[in-house]
Structure 1
Amino acid sequence: MECTIQNEWNGAPIAHEPVTICLKPAPGGLQMDVSAPFFNDPPAPSGPVGEPFEALWDYEVVEAFFLNSEKEQYLEVELGPHGHHLVLLLSQRRNIWKECLPLFFQASISQGTWKGRALIPWEYFPPSVDQFNAYAIHGSGLKRTYEALYPIPEKEVQEGQKPDFHRLEYFKPFNFKALMGEERKEPASSLWKV
């Protein structure tokens, strides 16, 4: 499955090469490949490369959200061009109950583009994921730009409204069986036994 982020959070078209996310099966989980323009704004986080970095959303980042819409349980995976990542498990909107989970993630920067590859373990996914959205953020101050795969429709944006990536009602259907094959059995996750 490949998706391309072509709009800002409010539906306005972007003015640069789009971020592309590719999801595919991998041993033990889901591989997430990112190809994105490299803005280098803001500069790299100060934390060690390869480790989780709290509040990575304040930096240049690409994010993927996997949602069980019935229970409002979701996985948020954030990847940065400098090799930092952040994995959050949320139960109900914005309610983080596990964070900074380990993740195999590698990133490289070359000629104005960055590429990243992460392996998301099956146990990180809530049961019965049925919706998805993805985002990209870059820039500082007034140049901060928030982009969404499935943005809020322009006609629904209200004056003065700010970007909010936890508007679960704008996520779109996601079918793991179409991605993984009809014979896929959903692995049990010890993390989501709450």
Structure 2
Amino acid sequence: MGVTDADEPVERVFQALCEGRLARDELTARKIAAFLGQTTMVLYHHFGSLDGFLIRVDGAGWRRLAGLLEARARAGGDARSLAVAYVEFALRHPDLYWLMAERRFDRARLREEGRLRLARPLWGGFVELLRRYGSARPSEDTHVLFAGLHGIAMLALSGRANLGEAPAPDEEVAFAAARRLADLVLPARPPEPPLPPAIGDRDPRRSA
């Protein structure tokens, strides 16, 4: 599917966040418009609001992460490697991850406007991935893993992952904690074959 006029600014901001060319403090209507070389009307005309634009960028981030986890699963990675991949993603793209997991959206309004159409399918993809890894309660375990891995990632990003006495880097401690969390939540066995479509197969520019 080609990039539409509405997709193009989402893609540009998404890539800039991935590459560190935009930071969280620059995610205002005025600064995004300046980055795009346009007026703020580009956000309101196509997306209704700043939230309507950023939820598209947010969704692109989650689909990028979903695709990364799916690729590891297809390559035979165990649950530990997927947990580490989540934390790695957050540490490598801190400003994008902040948008995905920390910025507050008016989700009730976005839902009323029909701008959260793919949120449930995307969530369902993560749940299905955990089912393939042997979870007996995949929906609940998805909540647990997201909460735990997010906490681990935020501790590492704030320099607080290693509050003990061991002289280990925060990143190393965070990865060890992610592996331990995976051990606690999921059985130690390879995933079942995926059911189509894979969770990372959708166009990453589409709305969340």
**Structure 1 or 2: larger helix share?**
2
TM-score by length of structure 2 reads 0.27
Taking structure 1 as the reference length, the TM-score comes to: 0.29
Which structure has more RCO (C-alpha within 8 Å, separation ≥ 6)? 2
User: Computing the radius of gyration over CA atoms, which structure comes out larger, 1 or 2?
Assistant: 2
